[in-house]
Amino acid sequence: MKIENEDALDNFVICHKCFTLNEEIPIADGSKACCSKCGHILYRYDSKLIDHSLALSFTGLIFFILANLFPLLQIDILGTEQFITIPKTIVSLFDNGFYIVGFVCVFLIFIFPLMIFLINILLFTLLKMERGEKLTKELLILLSHITPWSMADIFFISLLVALVKLIAFGQIHIGISFWALMVFVMIDIYITKSIHLSEIWMLRKRILFNKDKN
């Protein structure tokens, strides 16, 4: 196998299991390509991926907004009622002088998850419109940098742990935001686990570059 230049590498796919370099070939809609050596799935082609991802991203964004608008928990301790919301949690971190923790939290549980969903919406809208050759590339690169730093799922798990501990101190009522956050986290996990960036990259290549040939 001889590779002339860097652009020629675009036509090859590396297997994540055995690291064999496979040549990328066009496959039929709904089918998948496997590694020539170990049989591990290299890529899939699903023309409905854009519509599904766009719908999921919009739904996720709506639940994210709901999760930030409504109360997460209501705690009654010794007759005093207190509502907890996600923005209030972050603000109270700053109020108590935990600036670094507050700053990290703003990015990990608010800015990055929000950015991922906004980028996805923009990216899939552009792909649907068959536009933005350069912008879609930049967005995909940005997405690959941000995705590992989105930690809404970890925040939700720590919330569950805190909930178990708080039950001993008073009465706790779960708010709308808690359920909205749960749905958001499930959509977030589904998108990150089932829609691989490499598949979107290939879909982009197929949509934007085949368009010119037609």
Which residue has tokens 């230049």? 5
- The count of chain residues that interact with Zn ion, using the rule CB under 5 A, is 8
Site string (11-30) toward Zn ion, x via CB under 5 A: ----x-xx-x----------
Tokens of 162: 């805190």
Q: Given the complex with Zn ion, which of 34 and 135 has the nearer CB atom?
A: 34
The DSSP symbol for 85 reads -
Selected binder of Zn ion within 3, 38, 176, 189 (CB under 5 A): 38
- Minimum Å gap between C-beta 16 and Zn ion is 8
Region of 38-46, 90-98, 168-176, 206-214 interacting with Zn ion (CB under 5 A) = 38-46
What is the C-alpha to C-alpha distance for residues 28 and 12, in angstroms, rounded to an integer? 18
Nearby residues of 152 by Cβ (< 8 Å), 6 or more positions away:
109, 113, 181, 184, 185, 188
User: C-beta of 24: minimal distance to Zn ion in Å?
Assistant: 14
Binding residue for Zn ion, selected from 40, 128, 173, 211, defined by CB under 5 A: 40
Nearer Cβ to Zn ion, position 20 or 89? 20
Rule CB under 5 A: say whether 32 interacts with Zn ion: no
The length of the chain is: 214
The single residue among 30, 32, 37, 144 that binds Zn ion, judged by CB under 5 A, is 37
Longest dimension (CA), the chain: 75
CB-based contact 53:194 (threshold 8 Å): no
Determine contact, residues 146/116, Cβ cutoff 8 Å. yes
List interacting residues with Zn ion (CB under 5 A): 15, 17-18, 20, 35, 37-38, 40
